[in-house]
């Protein structure tokens, strides 16, 4: 969590908008590029708020530069392409309508040659230019609306739903389009031609796919969730097809790159690798710690937790209570936020709060506004807690049956500053470079540098065989490092 909340729709609504915009005409001729751009712009906001963009300006500029070099070889196009890195561990790449192209930090860690990155980007560009989004209704991220009963839910869920109801199961995961085999083949063909026209080896796409497949196979069942291969399946037949297509293209006389192998490695040096990125805060079981904002909070034990750029939160296993914590812009005091909420609730629903009072969480000023709403299933408590801390202004938003009020209250009251020990304990796995001695095996090198990857995984991510022996070059590895807040 690192961004103040703003207006947003739930993901399932967004997906419905995109499908409506793109498919209402049933044929591509009635869907204009302007409509695609509008749908893609809406999706890009959701990507930023739900998955998050990886914070590395130098690496992001490099990805944009490679992407724009490919775009320059497209010729005339109605699309305005933009490229970004999503904060996702799994190797992944995807496109949304109108020219928004994303690669994950997990995919970048996998890259060993600029041509591999160009091959992936060219493939995604081709999904856009061939208008594959128009021809299929992409799989949405969203699930259902908040389902707790009560007449106030419709009002409160506009706020709480905007934070929590961006679905628990898929918060922070990626929009994956289910392309047909024919669409994948078409994107391969057009993407390889585009990569070749831009001066890249079209066979690099096969190298990228084979490397990703090796890594994913090693991670499957341990840390793998969604990956590029889920929506872009790699098969021996597909690789063979790529090789056949490459043979039909004019041979390259001059392979031109923005960054050579060593320069690419240098750009990847320092990349956070792994499920959690400490730039966004980390969970340790039920406890969330954020170094940038200097706080920790303990959510109820056994609840399903989530961490997105927009909020951090938890859901009771049966869906009977929700709690989300988000950052405010800070223009009001806690009492000012509370007064604005009470006015809005009264104007829109005629409801007055059961409780409105100031109090303190640790030494921080806070204000509670609670609504008790009856239903056939019991009393539902809906509450907001606004508070100011030295690290920023925050709002807790919660909802649940009266019997769950105690764990909700305990979670809110648990928020406090980090201790020095806690702050120094926040970290993660970070990609680094180390030279391999002449004749040294991957196993011996991994042990010497203290890599957290197995030798097999190190080979897959560095694109070398299991029987590899070093000759003085650098390879990528990961080590555990403490995170230092900016």
Mean pLDDT on 121-135: 87
Q: Are 93 and 443 in contact (CB under 8 A)?
A: no
**Domain co-membership, 220 together with 109:** yes
Helix (H, G, I), strand (E, B) or coil at 140: coil
**Domain co-membership, 184 together with 214:** yes
Backbone φ, ψ for residue 315 (5° rounding) = -130, 135
Domain extent at residue 350: 286-423
Residue 139: pLDDT band with limits 50, 70, 90: very low
Give yes or no for residue 141 having a pLDDT over 50. Answer: no
Q: Residue 323 has which token pair?
A: 């709690």
- Boundary residue ending a domain (379, 402, 423): 423
**Domain co-membership, 200 together with 325:** no
- pLDDT of 148-182, one tens digit each? 444 444 444 455 555 444 432 333 333 444 677 78
DSSP letter at 168 equals G
- pLDDT of 311-367, one tens digit each? 999 999 999 999 999 999 888 999 999 999 999 989 888 889 999 999 999 999 999
In a domain, residue 441? The reply is: yes
Give yes or no for residue 304 having a pLDDT over 50. Answer: yes
**Domain co-membership, 242 together with 292:** no
Please tell me which residue, 74 or 33, carries the higher pLDDT value. 74
Q: What's residue 178's pLDDT?
A: 61
**Domain co-membership, 219 together with 99:** yes
Q: What's residue 247's pLDDT?
A: 82
Give yes or no for residue 473 having a pLDDT over 70. Answer: yes
**Domain co-membership, 208 together with 118:** yes
Rg of the chain over all Cα atoms, to the nearest angstrom: 25
In a domain, residue 166? The reply is: no
In a domain, residue 277? The reply is: no
**Domain co-membership, 239 together with 94:** yes
Sign for the pseudo-dihedral over CA of 402, 297, 315, 328:
positive
**Domain co-membership, 96 together with 191:** yes
Q: What's residue 286's pLDDT?
A: 97
Question: Structural domain tally of the chain?
Answer: 3
Q: What's residue 219's pLDDT?
A: 84
Q: Using DSSP bridges, classify how beta strands 427-435 and 474-482 pair: parallel, antiparallel or unpaired.
A: antiparallel
- Boundary residue ending a domain (208, 242, 260): 260
**How many whole angstroms separate alpha carbon 122 and alpha carbon 198?**
10
Q: Residue 94 has which token pair?
A: 């995807």
In a domain, residue 47? The reply is: yes
**Domain co-membership, 438 together with 374:** no
Q: What's residue 135's pLDDT?
A: 55
In a domain, residue 2? The reply is: no
Domain CATH number, residue 290: 3.40.1000.10
**Domain co-membership, 232 together with 335:** no
Mean pLDDT on 363-376: 89
In a domain, residue 5? The reply is: no
């Amino acid at each position: 969590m690192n961004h103040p909340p703003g207006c947003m729709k739930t993901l399932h609504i967004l997906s419905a908008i995109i499908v409506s915009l793109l498919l209402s005409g049933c044929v591509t001729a009635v869907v204009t590029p302007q409509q695609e751009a509008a749908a893609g712009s809406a999706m890009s906001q959701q990507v930023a708020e739900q998955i998050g963009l990886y914070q590395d300006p130098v690496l992001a500029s490099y990805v944009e530069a490679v992407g724009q070099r490919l775009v320059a070889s497209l010729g005339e196009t109605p699309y305005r392409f933009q490229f970004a890195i999503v904060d996702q561990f799994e190797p992944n790449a995807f496109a949304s309508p109108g020219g928004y192209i994303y690669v994950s930090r997990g995919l970048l860690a996998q890259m060993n040659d600029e041509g591999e990155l160009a091959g992936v980007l060219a493939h995604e560009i081709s999904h856009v230019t061939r208008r594959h989004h128009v021809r299929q209704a992409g799989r949405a991220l969203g699930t259902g609306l908040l389902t707790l009963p009560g007449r106030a839910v419709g009002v409160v869920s506009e706020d709480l739903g905007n934070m929590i109801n961006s679905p628990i199961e898929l918060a922070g995961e990626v929009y994956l389009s289910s392309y047909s085999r024919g669409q994948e083949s078409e994107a391969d063909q057009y993407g390889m031609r585009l990569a070749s026209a831009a001066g890249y080896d079209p066979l690099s796409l096969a190298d990228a796919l084979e490397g990703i497949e090796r890594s994913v196979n090693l991670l499957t069942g341990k840390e793998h969730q969604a990956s590029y291969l889920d929506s872009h399946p790699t098969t021996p037949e597909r690789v063979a097809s790529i090789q056949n297509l490459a043979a039909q293209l004019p041979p390259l006389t001059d392979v031109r790159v923005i960054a050579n192998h060593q320069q690419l490695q240098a750009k990847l040096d320092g990349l956070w690798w792994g499920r959690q990125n400490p730039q966004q805060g980390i969970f340790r079981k039920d406890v969330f710690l954020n170094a940038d904002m200097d706080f920790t909070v303990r959510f109820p034990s056994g609840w399903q937790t989530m961490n997105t750029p927009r909020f951090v939160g938890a859901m009771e296993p049966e869906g009977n209570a929700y709690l989300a914590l988000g950052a405010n812009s800070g223009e009001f005091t806690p009492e000012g936020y509370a007064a604005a909420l009470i006015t809005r609730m009264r104007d829109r629903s005629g409801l007055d709060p059961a409780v409105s009072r100031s109090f303190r969480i640790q030494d921080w000023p806070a204000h509670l506004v609670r609504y008790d709403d009856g239903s056939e299933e019991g009393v539902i408590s809906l509450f907001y807690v606004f508070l100011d801390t030295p690290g920023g202004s925050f709002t807790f938003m919660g909802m649940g049956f009266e019997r769950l009020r105690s764990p909700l209250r305990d979670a809110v009251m648990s928020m406090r500053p980090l201790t020095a020990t806690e702050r120094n304990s926040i970290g993660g796995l970070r990609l680094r470079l180390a030279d391999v001695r002449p004749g040294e095996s991957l196993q011996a090198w991994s042990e010497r540098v203290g890599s957290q990857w197995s030798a097999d995984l190190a080979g897959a991510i560095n694109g070398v065989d299991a029987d590899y022996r070093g000759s003085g070059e650098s390879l990528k590895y990961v080590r555990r490092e403490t995170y230092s807040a900016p």
